[in-house]
Every structure is written in structure tokens, then in C-alpha cells.
A and B are shown apart, each in its own frame.
Chain A
């Protein structure tokens, strides 16, 4: 199936693109465009031109991974488009095809899947304090390092029920709920989808001669710091 045909089946695409008149209102308000070489107007225009080659290049690029899905663009577009929604459809297509492994920002899908995807199934949380290890998150700084080391005491003083059963914030999610959650992932195709990310990523790791752990660390840490400057959006 061509990229455009697969997009046309995606509800996010259907709801997000009528026609674009290249006015730039979305780009002017887009927080991602302010910092990265990213332009939601060009995303909308590239997609509406339906050129398969450009679409494939887009799905393999860093570009589609800069959007924060804040949906500010939805509130302003004079044609009623939502570039952020188009991005959701493009990301999905890139994930389905395995093309996300072709770009640095796309490869981070693996890190996300292994971290957030695993956490939700194991703990019922995408993030809990245990998981935010200071050595993996230098950006959190010294204060976090201190909190992390004293986390039991700190969370007790905030009246959280950290890691214990029963009610309260940060409580341990009980096994019945966790099983229910896992089932939801099974039934809705969430698990299968995450498996795809895993498979494509490990294939890429092998291609690069890396063991899974080194590849994971690479997707976690690598940052060429150019924010897409070296590549054109189109």
C-alpha cells in the first residue's frame, strides 16, 4: 500500500487535513518550530502534494519527531487543519513500516518503548520515581539526585503512599488492575504495536553490529545536537 493510502485510512489524518493554503499561521504559533528546523506548514503541504518519494523521505526523517503534539496549531488554522494530528498519522505510518529506525530521533522510539512501554505494564505507571535514575537523567540535576537517594522519606513526608498497597498517590498498583491493564493492551493491539517497535529496532541493532543493550543506550543518549538543521524539511 502506498504511504498516502495508508494515511487516508488513519482517523488522525482524516480529521486533520482538509486543504492547506500555506499561510504559516500554524508555524508561527508552533513551539517546536521556534526551536527546531521544523515547520508544520511544510508538513501539511508535503502531505497534500501526495508525492510518495517525499512522503517516504519524511517518514524516515528526524522531522516528524519534533512535534510536541500540543495541538496549538488546531486552534488557529484558518482551513480547520491540525498539523499535529497529521504528525500523529505520519508517526504511526513510520512505526508500522519500521522507517523510524532510519533517523536518530525516530530510533528513540525504542528507548521510549523500553522505558515507558515496559513501565506501564510492570508498574501501572509510565514513570515512577524509582525509574528516573540520576545517572540516566543528568538533566534533573543535584536536587533530584538527593531526592532519589532519600525517596522513601521524601515521599512519606508528602503523604504519598509510595510503593505500598492501598489508596493514595504513587501507591502500588495491585495485581488485578495490572492484569486488566495488560489485557487492554492485548485486546486493543497495543502490545502487538510495541512488539513491532522492538522487532524493527533489534533488526536495526543487528544491522549496525550492536547488541540490544548498547543499541538501547545509543538511542537513549545519542544527540547530534543539530535539531534537524543539516537536513531540509522536504
Chain B
């Protein structure tokens, strides 16, 4: 009997591969037509600027393992247990899958920036999200809506995070470093542009992150303004007029930008609530899946035999997601052998 994994993003793929290598057979379920999840929206990864496509190719190769059965374009619709605790999952194509353990690796979705209406996403043409900027990098083209190379670009931190107004109190962890990485990438494409990051705190916690921040200042001439965006409006040339306070000077600041990039945060994956209720799990205060213990049970849920990994339980960067997936594989192996 197998281990069932919901979600074939980086966490699901990595856990599947580790479990398969330790001799388990794995049923890997993915709702999209391809694996990779949010990784498909990234161009280069921090801190080493590895191509996201290369990492995905590696994950893809790993899950070609004979013990892994990949179900693409599939969603679980019903869950039940047999008398001996065996897990039964019905997929939307009618298939019935059984397993001794279930791993939730449903990941996250990025914050819908329309909800922060005062930032003008979907209203003003030159407001884009960090995800859209990654796509622009993939296509090697950065232009304003009027077809010009932007002269001044602002990257706005904490969009969809740390904000009571949209009921997202937590920090999404990866957007500070994403902003620094994207600012450097922008500088490489646009040597003359003025590039500014508007931040509250620089949360550069990972190895090499703080160094990258320093390099952004010293080598790439990126400017950092400590202030959170209050609102944006548009002028006749489709430029953006932004209002922030430069809190280190203690003065309100009005500035014109040619392009504004919103560093969107992480939210529980689409269908997260339904999954939680279908599997009888608990919802954490931040809306993600509650783990059984914040130190010793980070991959365990409140249901026996059901485990969780990656951004299903809280925002994580890619490094931590992959580490967490390996940890989940170990946790599940122990469970199966006990």
C-alpha cells in the first residue's frame, strides 16, 4: 500500500522522491496539467540566482522513479477510512486511491492584489505584481504600458501581509528577499533606472540574504526607503503618484514612478478550507493548516496518518520547503515502520 501526496509542487515532488527512494510506493496527485506549482512562475531563485526551470527539471526527473505514480489534472473529492485506518481518496475522475498515509502538500497561492484597492492594481496600467515581474524576466522585457523603458521603479513590500485591513496578520517571509533579488535583476536590465524598495523591516533571514541586501545597496545602487505605501494614483502620462512616509526622516513623501511592483504575499492554497474540512484537519490562526506541535510535530496534523509539508502549514521559502519535504518523508517513514 502507498503514501498519497496531494500537490506536486516542490514540496510534494521532493517528499515523493525521498519516500520512493526509501522503498515506499507513492501516489502523487496534482490538479494542474504539469508539476512545479508556484515554481513555474519564477525565473531565477535566491540567493544563488539558479534558474527556476533547472530546479523544476531536476524535480521532474526525480519523480520519474518507478515507485511514483503521478496523477495530473486530478483533485481529491472524497475522503474516508477503512476499519483498519487505511485511507481512501476518491479523485474527480472517479478513481479510488488507497494509502497508509496521506501527505498534504497543497502549497500556497499569491495574494490577490486587487483586494488592496488603494494600490491601484487592475486599475492603473503600470502597477504589476512580483509574479508578473518574474514573467517579464522570463521574456527578458521590461516596458511600461506606453512602451517605454521605466526610468523610476518602486518595489512595494508587504502587499497582502502584515495587514489587519485584509485579515492577513502574518509575514510572508519571502517577499523581502524577492524584492532585493528583483531589484538587482531590474538593475542589470536597466542600468540607468532609479530603483527603490519601500519596506517596513528588511527580513533577510536566510543564508546569503543579508549579504545580497548589502550588495544591492553597495554594488547595484538600489535605494531603500523605510515606509509603507499608503496609496497610489495615476497622472495623465500613466505614471503613478505614490504617497508614503519616509519614516527615517519623518516626512510624508509624494513621488512619481513609471512602474510599481507589488510584492504579493502568500495565502493558503485555493481549496485549502475545503481540504481541511474534508480531511477533518484544524485551521491555524493564519488560515493555513494547523500542525500538531510547532517544534516536534511540524509535519504532523491532528489526524493520525495525515501529514503536512511546505507552505500548506505556513509561508516558507523554497530552501525551507525542500528541507521540510525531506523532514516529512522521514516522519512518514517512521510512522509506517512503527
Contact = CB atoms under 8 A, between A and B. Distances in A.
Asked if A and B bind, the verdict is: yes
B200 A23 contact: yes
Interface stretch (A34-42, A153-161, A188-196, A205-213): A34-42
B250 A28 contact: no
A22 interface: yes
A39 B250 contact: yes
Interface stretch (A74-82, A96-104, A144-152): A74-82
B9 interface: no
B218 interface: no
Contact of A28 (B164, B200, B226, B245): B245
A41 B227 CA distance: 11
Contact of B247 (A24, A34, A77, A80): A24
B60 to A, nearest CB: 40
Contacts, number: 64
B186 to A, nearest CB: 24
A41 B200 contact: no
Contacts of A39: 245, 250-251
Nearest to A29: B230
B202 to A, nearest CB: 14
A23 B252 contact: no
B73 interface: no
A171 B229 CA distance: 48
A28 B162 contact: no
Contact of B227 (A24, A76, A79, A80): A24
A27 interface: yes
Nearest to B230: A28
Interface string B203-244: 000000000000000000000001111110000000000011
Nearest to A233: B250
B245 A24 contact: yes
Contacts of A42: 250
A45 to B, nearest CB: 10
In this complex, the interface size class of chain A, counting residues with CB under 8 Å from chain B, is: 20 to 34
Contact of A23 (B227, B231, B251): B227
Interface string A3-36: 0000000000000000001111111111001100
B243 A29 contact: yes
A28 B252 contact: yes
Contacts of A29: 230-231, 243
Interface string B289-321: 000000000000000000000000000000000
Contacts of A28: 227-231, 243-245, 252-253
B148 interface: no
A76 B162 CA distance: 13
A21 B251 CA distance: 16
A115 B164 CA distance: 41
Given A24-B244, A28-B245, A78-B164, A33 B230 contact: no
Interface in A65-86: 76-80
A30 B252 contact: yes
Interface string B164-200: 1100000000000000000000000000000000001
Given A28-B244, A78-B164, A34 B252 contact: yes
B114 to A, nearest CB: 17
B54 interface: no
B118 interface: yes
Contact of B228 (A23, A30, A33, A34): A23
B203 to A, nearest CB: 13
A76 B243 CA distance: 12
B132 interface: no
Given A41-B245, A80-B164, A25 B252 contact: no
B34 interface: no
Contact of B162 (A30, A33, A41, A78): A78
B163 interface: yes
Nearest to B244: A28
Contacts of B252: 24, 27-28, 30, 33-34
Contacts of A33: 245, 252
Given A24-B226, A78-B165, A80-B165, 8 more contacts: A21-B162, A23-B200, A25-B228, A27-B247, A28-B228, A34-B252, A76-B165, A78-B228
14 contacts: A23-B200, A23-B227, A24-B252, A25-B230, A27-B252, A28-B243, A28-B244, A29-B230, A41-B245, A42-B250, A76-B118, A76-B165, A78-B162, A233-B250
- A-B residue pairs, 7 tightest by C-beta: A24-B245, A28-B230, A23-B228, A27-B245, A78-B163, A24-B247, A28-B243
